[in-house]
Structure 1
Amino acid sequence: MHALPLAVMAFILYLAAASWQGLVLARRVPPRAALVRSFGALGLLCHLPLAVGLLTQGETLLPGVTTSAVLASGLAVLVLLGVSLFKPVLNVATGLFPLAGVTLLLATGMPSPEKGTGMTPGIALHALSAALAFALLAIAAIQAVLLGVQNQALRHHHFRGVVQSLPPLTTMERILFELVWAGMALLTLSIASGFLFVDDMFAQHLIHKTVLSLAAWVLFAALLAGHHWLGWRGLRAVRWTLGGCLLLLLAYFGSKFVLEVLLARP
């Protein structure tokens, strides 16, 4: 099947799942976790062939912007579906699923990567750990947004609406830091494997990614240290999480988008 029909099907399924969960947050419909997971899983089944197709085109060094975006968004959906079986994080689907669907639609209109000799196992480890780190930290970013909304509502004594549908504030914060810890571990593996297996991490086309990834790592490390030693939480944790995720977004996709899409360089 061609890429566009699959992308459209995935987008519709993701949007259906996100819409239902959004109505749950607004207290318009009863929770139906199995329904949301089912639509999300069906969307992922349409998503995966596109990711596999891009990966098997065998790029010469690191995945391009199209492959990275499709792979990272698919992994984020997969991780969220898995984690939601054990943690109350399914509300993140209201933001994540539409983003994954839009990513697929946009990817079908972007230039396809040129075929090459394929990735080595070391480069594959680097690419996979980077995609998993971004997936987990993207989930953490949406969790941080929900936590910020909840925190602000409670500060202004608004106890109805979305706040009633979310888990307790302490649970939301605990899950946020668990996601950041897991994402940091994978980000550390990604950076370490990059230095080990990429010939020159500070090459012209990689220096922005390297510097921004290291900056994001430092920011997340400071957040975790501040939480452990100084008790950082609430809106401060939200801001630091979103700041680190923004740096990571620029690191993974900013320079690639400029080089591959705007300047049309491989």
Structure 2
Amino acid sequence: MILSPALPSQPALWPSVLAILAYFFAAAWPGRPQGGLVRRERPIWAALLVGWLAQAVAIVLDTVIIQDGAMGARFGFGSALSITSWLVVAVYAFESRRLGLPGVRRVLAVLAALTVALGWLFPGQVQSVQGATWAPLHWLLGFASYGLFGAALLHAVLWRHAEQQLRAPPSASGTLPLRARQGGQALGMPLLRLEALTLQFVWAGFVMLSLTLLLGFWFTTPWRWDHKSVFSVLSWVVFATLLVGRVRFGWRGRLAIRWLVAGSALLLLAYVGSRFVLEVILHRGSTT
């Protein structure tokens, strides 16, 4: 049977269940702004906060392992996705007071709930840190790069949505779309600001990914060109090309987003994809 999860972590069961229920509540609640004060969206923010905090507890209980008085870590594709969605939800919550976008909130909340379930069902294997002093930093930088590129993808979606709104044709009465009548404002902020935020997250993710690869190459003996390494380096090349194209040739719009999606897909295959194959399809553990 292909889908055969590892033994789930029982301590993380109830935080995971609470996070899933809270996220689904946040996705289902039909909140609407009323006169600039989002009264009906207060339950949404409460649910997102409860889900986010419960997910954090579940992540800690799933990934932090104490054996023989020593602290270790357990990672898998499920926990990687859960950590990524946790970081993206934090970024969304920080900025969405200005952006609104109930559709994005619903999709993001459902995805977060699904990743919480995957993180509990497929917690992965215990990772060896013996003789690997820099391994925890390597893992933290890697997950940070996942979260930052996830935030970049979120902003890219907002960027494209805002761009489409501003380019919408006039109505039958000849009235310009609301966003066009707001002096270039889209989704609560200037379109160029959304574009700048997207590239800022790409830059930050690229720095984290570069440090992750550098630490892995420098402190892993011997270095192995496995699937994870190959896809990670390929994603680094794609992101580097995007940033060079942005600085040197002014890439923007659809072209920049396509490069961002391509690099993110390769990065997803690097760790999440390889761990999924090892854990779920081949039923094999790994200490790398």
User: Normalised by the shorter chain, which TM-score bucket?
Assistant: 0.7 to 0.9
Q: Deviations over 1:147-192 (max 9, x none)?
A: 223333434437359x953533211111101111111111111111
Please list, as runs of the form range in 1=range in 2, the aligned pairs for 1:32-47 lying within 5 A after superposition.
37-47=45-55
| Match among 3, 22, 32 for residue 12 of structure 2 | 3
Is contact 1:195–1:201 with CA below 8 Å preserved after alignment? yes
CA distance in 1, matches of 2:270, 2:202: 17
Whose Rg is larger? 2
Question: Alpha carbons of 1:148 and 1:196: their partners in 2 closer, same or farther (altered >3 Å)?
Answer: same
Following superposition, the deviation at residue 126 of structure 1 comes to: 0.6
Q: In the aligned structure 1, how far is the partner of 2:203 from the partner of 2:81?
A: 22
Alignment of 1:217-232 (within 5 A): 217-232=236-251
Aligned-pair CA distance for 1:119: 8.3
Q: Does 1:235 align with 2:235?
A: no
3-state SS of the aligned residue for 2:65? coil
Letter in 2 for 1:77: V
Q: 1: CA distance between counterparts of 2:219 and 2:27?
A: 38
Matched residue SS, 2:125: coil
Q: Among residues 82, 89, 95, which one is paired with 1:84 in the alignment?
A: 95
Distance 1:45 1:65, change over 3 A: same
Shift of the alpha carbon at 1:258?
Answer: 0.6
- Offset at residue 8 of structure 1 (A): 2.5
The one-letter code matched in structure 1 to 2:23 is: Y
- Identity percentage over the alignment? 31
Q: Note if contact 1:7-1:47 (Cα within 8 Å) is conserved in structure 2.
A: yes
For 2:83, the equivalent position in structure 1 comes to 71
- Contact 1:77–1:96 (8 Å) recurs in 2: yes
Q: How much does 1:193 deviate?
A: 0.9
Aligned letter for 2:143?
A: A
Name the TM-score, length of structure 1 as normaliser: 0.80
TM-score by length of 2: 0.75
1:245 aligns with 2:240: no
Deviation at 1:2, TM superposition (A): 4.2
Matched, 1:113 2:132: no
Question: Which of the two has greater strand per residue?
Answer: 2
Partner of 2:201: 179
